[in-house]
């Protein structure tokens, strides 16, 4: 299983048309939404982050791009790949590029929900229960090997991820903002693991696969990682406050009615497809549009194109789908099914 990648990977024929990030469209002054200056800021900061992360992860700019898209869309990222390809490195580099709090939780079979959310302990000196925050109380939470923990521990993340809050002993604690969970999981070693339930997967905005580096990148990696941990040299390029601001700008990116219809048409098509047992949820539609907004902003556009949605169909939707029994028997992969659906759903042609 090879989850698709996000962002800048494109067919060979697309050069010249996908130059948007490097050849910005002429400036547009418009009231209401983010001006081009705003999306420029988003793109500039994002470029800084990406450049910073790519110091550590060579040759994976599309994965980095995806991670940034998820960050700006205020979503959570699921990294799925075999061990040793840099999942943890990626998440750490991303976290370190932003001057913010980072927590790493190593999911193990004996991990308890309270380890994630936090626990109230009795303080003998004050003779009161006081709350000891768990692992999620950070701007960026790295959940390593998330499928190794028991389902009940996994579900402790549910509330945090969706509602950005933690409730312990009837007391609700707000999480910090920005808040992003980057979870990694290993699709190969299935023994002793608990695959994420659908409800849990639905809460991740996108799932990407890092994939093996190309030989040249691997050689470069040998040089740079030879003696010293590159993460140590990584300096933050932005801070949590700025990310929050950028997220605000991204949320303002214009989604025309035509694009909205296209998004709904795409997700509806997954629900109606006979090859899929479980289609996309309305939350998936929401996530798709949010991610598309971030992608548009990263391409210095203050409006979403159908192409943004189309490019994000695989990473945003694939991990939420369940193939039907027939499709599974026929050996159809979810990615293939989704690609077929996306190529069939027509783009609305009307001017919004």
Partner 1 sequence: MRAGRTPLGSTLLIAMVGAGTTWAALTAWSDFVTQPSDYLVPLLLVGFVVAATGALLRALGTPRLLTVLVQIAATSALVSLSVTGSPLPVGSTGAELLDALRTSINSAQAYAAPIGSQAPPIWPLLLAGGAVFILIVDVVACTLGRVPGAGLALLAVYSVPSGLLEGAPGGASFLAAATGFLVLLHLDARDELMRWGRPLGPDDRSPWGGGSPVRDAVRAGAGRIGVTATALALVLPAFIPVLDVDVFDLGAGAGDGDIRIRKPVTDMRRDLERGRDRPMVRIRTDDPDPEYLRISVLNRFTGTEWSSGDRDVASDNVPDGRLPDPTGLSQDVPRTEYSYDVDITEQFVSTWLPTQFPASLVEAEGDWRFDPGTMDFLAADDDLTTRGIGYEMTGLALDYGTDGEFFRNAPSGSVQDEVLDLPSGVPAIARDLARSVTAPGLNDYERALLLQHWFRRGGGFEYSLERAPEGYGNDTLESFLSEEGRVGYCEQYASAMAVMARVLGIPARVAVGFLEPRRIGDGIWEYSSHDLHAWPELYFSGAGWVRFEPTPAGRVQSVPDYSRVPVDGIGEGGPQDPSGSETTDAGGTTTPAPTRAPTVPIEEGQSAEDGADGDRGMRTVLVAGGATVLLLVVLATLLLGPRAMRARLRRTRLAGGPDDLWTELRATAVDLGVPWPTGRSPREVGTALVNHLGDPVASQDERPRTGPDAAPAAAEALERLVVQVERARYARPGSIATLERLDLPADARAVMEALVAGVPPRRRQRAEWVPVSLWNR
Least spacing, CB of residue 289 vs partner 1, in Å: 13
Q: Does 254 bind partner 1 (CB under 8 A)?
A: yes
In the bound state with partner 1, the residue whose beta carbon lies nearer, of 28 and 330, is 28
Q: Does 42 bind partner 1 (CB under 8 A)?
A: no
- Give the residue among 198, 350, 340, 352 at the shortest CA–CA distance from 269: 340
Q: Which residues contact 173 (CB under 8 A, 6 or more apart)?
A: 118, 131, 133, 137, 165, 166, 167
Q: Which stretch binds partner 1 (CB under 8 A): 180-188, 226-234, 330-338, 342-350?
A: 342-350
Residue 306 touching partner 1 (CB under 8 A): yes
Contact 348, 262 (CB under 8 A): yes
For 313, the 3-state DSSP assignment is helix
Query: In the numeric block, which tokens belong to residue 176?
Result: 């910090």
Identify the three-state secondary structure at position 254.
strand
Indicate which single residue of 102, 217, 220, 258 sits in contact with partner 1 (rule: CB under 8 A). 258
Q: Residue 51 corresponds to which tokens in the numbers above?
A: 């450049």
Residues 192-221 that bind partner 1 (CB under 8 A): none
**Quick check: 141 and 182 in contact, CB under 8 A?**
yes
Shorter beta-carbon distance to partner 1: residue 42 or 77:
42
264 is a site residue for partner 1 (CB under 8 A): no
Residue 327: both structure tokens together: 């499709």
- Residue 351 binds partner 1, judged by CB under 8 A: yes
180 forms beta bridges with 140
CB of 65 to partner 1, least distance (A): 18
Calpha distance 280→94 (Å, rounded): 28
Q: Does 17 bind partner 1 (CB under 8 A)?
A: yes
User: What is the total count of residues that contact partner 1 (CB under 8 A)?
Assistant: 36
Rounded to a whole number of angstroms, the minimum distance from the CB of residue 254 to partner 1 is: 4
Q: 78, 75, 107, 47: which is closest to 210 by C-alpha?
A: 78
- Minimum CB distance to partner 1 smaller for 85 or for 304: 304
Closer to partner 1 by Cβ: residue 235 or 349 = 349
- Residue selected from 28, 51, 190, 241 as contacting partner 1 according to rule CB under 8 A: 28
Phi, psi of 199 (to 5 degrees): -60, -35
Gap between the Cα atoms of 289 and 283, Å rounded? 10
Select the residue interacting with partner 1 from 22, 32, 126, 329 (CB under 8 A): 32
Residue 26 found at the interface with partner 1 (CB under 8 A): yes
The answer to the question of residue 274 lying near partner 1 (CB under 8 A) is no
Residues forming contacts to partner 1 in the complex (CB under 8 A) are 11, 13-19, 25-33, 254, 256, 258-259, 301-307, 310, 345-347, 349-352
């Amino acid at each position: 299983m090879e989850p698709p990648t996000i962002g800048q990977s494109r067919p060979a024929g697309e050069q010249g048309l996908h130059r948007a990030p490097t050849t910005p469209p002429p400036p547009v002054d418009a009231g209401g939404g983010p001006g081009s200056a705003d999306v420029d800021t988003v793109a500039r900061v994002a470029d800084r982050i990406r450049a910073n992360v790519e110091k550590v992860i060579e040759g994976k700019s599309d994965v980095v791009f995806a991670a940034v898209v998820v960050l700006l869309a205020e979503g959570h990222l699921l990294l799925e790949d075999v061990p040793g390809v840099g999942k943890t490195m990626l998440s750490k580099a991303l976290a370190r590029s932003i001057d913010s709090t980072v927590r790493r939780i190593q999911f193990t079979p004996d991990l308890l929900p309270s380890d994630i959310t936090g626990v109230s302990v009795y303080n003998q000196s004050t003779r009161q229960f006081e709350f000891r925050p768990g692992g999620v109380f950070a701007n960026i939470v790295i959940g390593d090997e998330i499928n190794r923990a028991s389902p009940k521990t996994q579900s402790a993340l549910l509330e945090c991820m969706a509602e950005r809050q933690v409730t312990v002993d009837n007391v609700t604690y707000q999480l910090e903002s920005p808040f992003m969970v980057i979870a990694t999981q290993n699709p190969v070693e299935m023994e002793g693991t608990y695959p994420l339930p659908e409800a849990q997967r639905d809460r991740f905005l996108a799932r990407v696969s890092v994939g093996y580096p190309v030989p040249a990148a691997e050689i470069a990696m040998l040089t740079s990682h030879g003696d010293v941990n590159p993460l140590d040299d990584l300096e933050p390029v932005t801070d949590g406050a700025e990310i929050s601001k950028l997220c605000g700008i991204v949320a303002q990116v214009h989604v025309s009615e035509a694009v909205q219809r296209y998004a709904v048409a795409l997700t509806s098509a997954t629900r109606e497809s006979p090859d899929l047992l479980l289609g996309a949820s309305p939350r998936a539609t929401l996530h798709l549009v949010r991610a598309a907004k971030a992608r548009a902003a990263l391409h210095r556009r203050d409006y979403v194109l159908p192409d943004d949605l189309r490019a994000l169909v695989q990473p945003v939707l694939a991990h939420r789908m369940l193939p039907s029994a027939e499709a599974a028997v026929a050996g159809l992969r979810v990615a293939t099914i989704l690609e077929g659906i996306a190529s069939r759903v027509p783009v609305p042609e009307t001017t919004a």
